[in-house]
């Protein structure tokens, strides 16, 4: 895993590794339809500007997608991308560098 990959993966994990952002992700996770920011506001103890910033971080890391809808924005979780990123890392971590055990 080269340096650049590590760096971008770190960015991804860092985006998820903040309580309120992870709460937002979990909230989105439980919704079957896209949500706007005002609605997401309620799940974490942050005002709307804070939520806006958190969502920006998440979308920059491709964790959520945004869709403009009139004066609102609909956010939805990029489920398969996020899950696959996590699984790739899980797999990498589980396999030994040199197959010398087992």
Do 64 and 56 contact (CB within 8 A), yes or no? no
Q: How far out from the chain centre does Cα 94 lie?
A: 22
Restricted to residues 65-84, the positions that interact with a second copy (CB under 8 A) are 77, 79-80, 82-84
- Structure-block tokens of residue 83: 């899950």
Binding mask 28-67 for a second copy (x = CB under 8 A): -xxxx-----------------------------------
Which of 69, 61, 49 has the alpha carbon at shortest distance from 25? Answer: 61
Interface with DNA (CB under 7 A), residue from 8, 29, 30, 45: 45
At closest approach, how far in Å is the CB of 71 from a second copy?
26
Closest approach of Cβ 47 to a second copy, in Å?
19
Of the residues 9, 16, 36, 43, which one makes contact with DNA according to CB under 7 A: 36
| Alpha helix (H) residue ranges in the chain | 3-16, 19-29, 37-41, 48-60, 79-94
20 near DNA (CB under 7 A) = yes
């Amino acid at each position: 895993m080269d340096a650049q990959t590590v760096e971008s993966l770190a960015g991804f994990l860092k985006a998820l590794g903040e309580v309120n952002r992870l709460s937002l992700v979990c909230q989105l996770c439980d919704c079957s339809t896209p949500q706007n920011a005002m609605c997401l506001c309620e799940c974490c103890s942050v005002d709307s500007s804070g939520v806006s910033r958190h969502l920006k971080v998440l979308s920059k890391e491709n964790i959520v997608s945004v869709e403009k809808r009139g004066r609102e924005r609909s956010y939805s979780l990029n489920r398969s991308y996020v899950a696959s990123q996590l699984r790739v890392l899980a797999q990498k971590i589980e396999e030994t560098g040199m197959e010398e055990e087992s």
